[in-house]
Amino acid sequence: MGSTFDVHRRDLIKRAAAAGLIAVPAVGALTSCASGGGESNQVDKGEKSKDNPLAVNGTAALEVYIFDGGFGTQYAKDAAKTYEQRFPEAKVSVKSTQKIQSVLQPRFNGGTPPDLIDNSGAEQMDMGVLVGQKQLADLSPLLDAPSIDDASVKVRDTLRPGIVEMGQYDGEQCYVLNYAYTVYGVWYSQTNLDKIGEEYPKTWDDMLKVCAKAKKKGVAGWTYPGKYPYYLPFSLYPFMAKIGGDEVLKKIDNLEPDAWKQPAVKAALEAYYELHKKGYILQGTPGLTHIQSQTAWNEGEALFIPNGSWVENETAKTTPDDFEMRVAPPSSLDSGDKMPFATTWASGGEPFIVPAKAKNPTGGMEQMRVLLGKKATQNFVKQVSSLTALDGGTDGLDLPPGLNSAIGVLDAAGDNIVNPRIPNWYVSLHKDKIGTGCLGEMMAGRMTPAECMKKAQQFTDEAREDDSVKHYTR
């Protein structure tokens, strides 16, 4: 293969083990994989042309692995049919799993990964580790290729703001392309708020008043996936930024020594802890999965849930017809906030990667080019009620209430959109340590906000001081 996919290897096994990407017994396997020679297993390229700008080998098979979660897999199967129409001699195999790491880690270790992976879900592989191990292909050829809809426009110029930047880990090279565009925040049912005669609360004092009123009517204010408490930051991180400015999240992303000691962090955690102390969280929430908490929310047992815009599709089977799903930014703390109420966390989600040792990496990128076309985008939007990375991909579509609400939130936010990077740069730190080990414990009442801050800072300091961990800054 050409220089695009040549991979210079180095041994970063300690980092991978420390970050949880691989188990210690697998070190030997990954070492041999990471230190091998050229990409001799890759198929030859095809002939580059106007209709085939990436020089795809039209006879080569393509293997795609999709996380089978909130977005399902049909959108990917439909895109695979388009690929096969473009390359009739090629066979595309679309496989799926909810256990991405368990299923695909051994294949990375053995040097036989699929050609395109939707690396998402609770068992998401650590992208920071994969980049540090030189296991991912640079996606610049895809970004600089012409859009499938307009040959005069590069793919990178059709994407929503922040998509390319989110995939950059070292300089200008982009290794991850988030296909979905997710609006995070506090999700609710307008119908259920109407039942208690309330609107979405724009201040924290009003939030507590609404929760108190709901409690009197036998309804909890909040629920969340207690078994996966990394959902809490979907509203908590933009709340912190709203209170103290985006600099608050920047310090957390950069693993700074005072990241979790900031006044805005303290204020946000103490506010959320009030929900527990006042009994405004649905009983049993710490033991609920994301599906169980969402179902309870759909059934009117709780008013609010922190989530992302995939929730409308993921809860489709249990959402009442008159639910009127909505999303809003987190409530403002008070008049001293540094950012306006409309401040929202919105960013790319559903990260797709092309392994450097894939057999057909060019085909993997071409399949992404298909997915980033208007046809595939509108198919995705109609199927799963979520936006894609393609800017303007919803034009002309009749959208469901949750997605309509999400677009309204984006429009209102304008430039006040935050995008914390710790969930992508340090997956284990974000999910397992800070999420489960700190925030989950605090919201269950087993840790005070002060103890949560101290523990989160300890985990942050350990990650910063660990030379085996590859560090990123913004």
What phi-psi label fits residue 38: left (phi over 0), alpha (psi between -120 and 50 degrees) or beta? beta
303 and 359 fall within a common domain: no
- pLDDT at 71 exceeding the cut of 80: yes
Judge whether residue 110 has pLDDT over 90. Answer: yes
What stretch of H or E contains 302?
strand 302-307
Query: Reduced to 3 states, what is the DSSP secondary structure of residue 355?
Result: strand
Q: Are residues 294 and 441 in the same domain?
A: yes
User: Domain holding 21: CATH number?
Assistant: 3.40.190.10
Residue 367: exposed, middle, or buried by beta-carbon count in 10 A (0-12, 13-18, 19+)? Answer: buried
Look at residue 474 and tell me if it is in a domain. Answer: no
Q: How far is CA 226 from the centre of its chain?
A: 18
Across 354-472, the runs of DSSP E, i.e. the strands, are: 387-388, 417-418
Confidence band, pLDDT 50/70/90 cuts, at residue 32: very low
CB 62 within 8 A of CB 83: yes
Residue 411 counted as domain residue: no
| Residue matched to tokens 């800072």 | 457
Identify whether 264 is part of a domain: yes
**Host H or E run for residue 403:** helix 401-413
Residue 12 has pLDDT above 70, yes or no: no
Computed over every residue of the chain, the mean pLDDT equals: 90
Do 221 and 298 share a domain, yes or no?
A: yes
Q: What is the pLDDT of residues 421-453, one digit of tens each?
A: 999 889 899 999 999 999 999 999 999 999 999
Q: Read off the amino acid at residue 226.
A: G
Nearest of 303, 231, 233 to residue 268 by alpha carbon: 233
- Same domain as 282, residue 232: yes
For the residues 172-197, what does the mean pLDDT come to? 95
Residue 386 has a pLDDT of 86
Q: 169 and 205 share a domain?
A: no
- Whether the pLDDT of residue 237 is over 70: the answer is yes
pLDDT at 123 over 80: yes
Looking up tokens 């795609």 gives: 64
Closest alpha carbon to 274 in 473, 118, 142, 442: 442
Question: Would you say residue 89 lies in a domain?
Answer: yes
- Percent of the chain, pLDDT > 90? 80
Element (H, E) at 92: strand 92-97
- Count other Cβ atoms within 10 Å, centred on residue 70: 27
pLDDT for position 170: 72
- DSSP annotation string for 163-226: HHHHTEEETTEE--EEEEEEE-EEEEEHHHHHHTT----SBHHHHHHHHHHHHHTT-EEE---T
Q: Give the mean pLDDT of 92-119.
A: 96
Predicted confidence (pLDDT) at residue 26 exceeds the cutoff of 80: no
43-66: average pLDDT: 96
Q: Is the pLDDT of residue 209 over 60?
A: yes
Q: What does the chain come to in residues?
A: 474
Integer Rg of the chain from CA: 22
pLDDT on residue 40: 55
- Average pLDDT of the residues in 456-462: 98
Q: How many domains does the chain have?
A: 2
Given 393, 408, 429, which residue is the final one in a domain? 393
Among 158-167, 217-226, 297-306, which is the least confidently predicted range? Answer: 158-167
Residue 246 domain flag: yes
Is there a single domain that holds both residue 25 and residue 139?
Answer: yes
Is 33 among the domain residues?
A: yes
Whether 146 and 262 share a structural domain: no
Give the model's pLDDT for residue 34.
37
45 pLDDT above the threshold of 60: yes
- 93: amino acid identity, one letter: S
Are 353 and 104 a contacting pair, CB within 8 Å?
no
Model confidence at 161, in pLDDT bands (50, 70, 90)? confident
Domain containing residue 322: 183-346+418-465
The residue ranking higher by pLDDT, 128 or 91, is: 91
pLDDT tens digits for range 269-279: 999 999 999 99
Q: List pLDDT tens digits, range 406-416.
A: 999 999 999 99
Which of 75-89, 169-183, 388-402 ranks highest by mean pLDDT? 75-89
Co-location of 255 and 134 in the same domain? no
Report the candidate in 371, 378, 414 with the shortest Cα–Cα distance to residue 396: 378
Residues 171 and 220 grouped into a single domain? no
Position 399 in a domain: no
The answer to whether residues 26 and 165 belong to one domain is yes
Residues 314, 288 share a domain: yes
172 and 194 within one domain: no
Give the max Cα distance, the chain: 69
Residue 472 within any structural domain of the chain: no
pLDDT (0 to 100) of residue 417: 94
Asked if 266 and 258 count as a contact pair (C-beta separation under 8 A), the reply is no
CA distances for 235 relative to 185, 328, 365, 367, 403, angstroms: 5, 9, 33, 33, 17
